[in-house]
């Protein structure tokens, strides 16, 4: 499935760039995700919008994909102080991934898939504010 290929590419990019600072690794992951979605509008529409019409099994697969993305980001940010308690880390990253997913879904639904990379800078600024003491 294409979602597994995307997840694999994101993990490989994270491992290949392990010498980079965590924010730079998150930057690369986000850029790759937005680029892949922008270059594959049919996949983006199926994965982000049409999945809800495909039934509960497909929706659960999408949820699991999103949780995998959360785990990937948590791994990159391991050891990076985030606001709040340690228990809040997963929730904060889930909220971030949800925000990215929502913004991407809105653009895809509006037929503006080619503009997805424009979301990159705003999200990276937000992430920098979260992880900068």
What is the pTM assigned to this prediction?
0.84
Task: Report pLDDT for 57.
Answer: 93
Task: Report pLDDT for 105.
Answer: 95
**Which two structure tokens, joined as six digits, stand for 86?**
């340690």
Q: Angle, nearest 10°, between helix axes 88-109 and 56-76?
A: 120
Side-chain-facing half-sphere of 11: CA atoms under 13 Å: 12
Mean pLDDT of the chain: 86
Structural domains in the chain? 2-131 (1.10.357.10)
Q: What is the 3-state secondary structure (H, E, C) of the chain?
A: CHHHHHHHHHHHHHHHCCCCCHHHHHHHHHHHHHHHHHHCHHHHHHHHCHHHHCCHHHHHHHHHHHHHHHHHHHHHCCCCCCCCCCCHHHHHHHHHHHHHHHHHHHHHHCCCHHHHHHHHHHHHHHHHHHHCC
- pLDDT tens track for 86-97: 778 899 899 999
Whether the CB-CB separation of 33 and 117 falls below 8 Å is answered with no
- pLDDT tens track for 96-128: 999 999 999 999 999 999 999 999 999 999 999
């Amino acid at each position: 499935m294409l979602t597994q290929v995307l997840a694999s590419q994101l993990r490989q990019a994270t491992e290949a760039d392990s010498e980079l600072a965590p924010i730079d690794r998150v930057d690369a992951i986000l850029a790759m995700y937005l680029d892949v979605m922008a270059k594959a509008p049919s996949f983006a529409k199926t994965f982000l919008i049409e999945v809800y019409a495909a039934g509960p099994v497909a929706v659960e697969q999408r949820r699991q994909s999103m949780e995998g993305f959360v785990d990937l980001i948590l791994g990159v940010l391991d050891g990076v102080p985030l606001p709040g308690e340690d228990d809040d880390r997963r929730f904060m990253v889930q909220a971030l991934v949800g925000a990215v997913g929502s913004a991407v879904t809105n653009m895809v639904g509006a037929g503006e898939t080619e503009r997805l990379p424009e979301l990159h800078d705003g999200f990276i600024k937000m992430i920098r504010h979260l992880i900068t003491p």
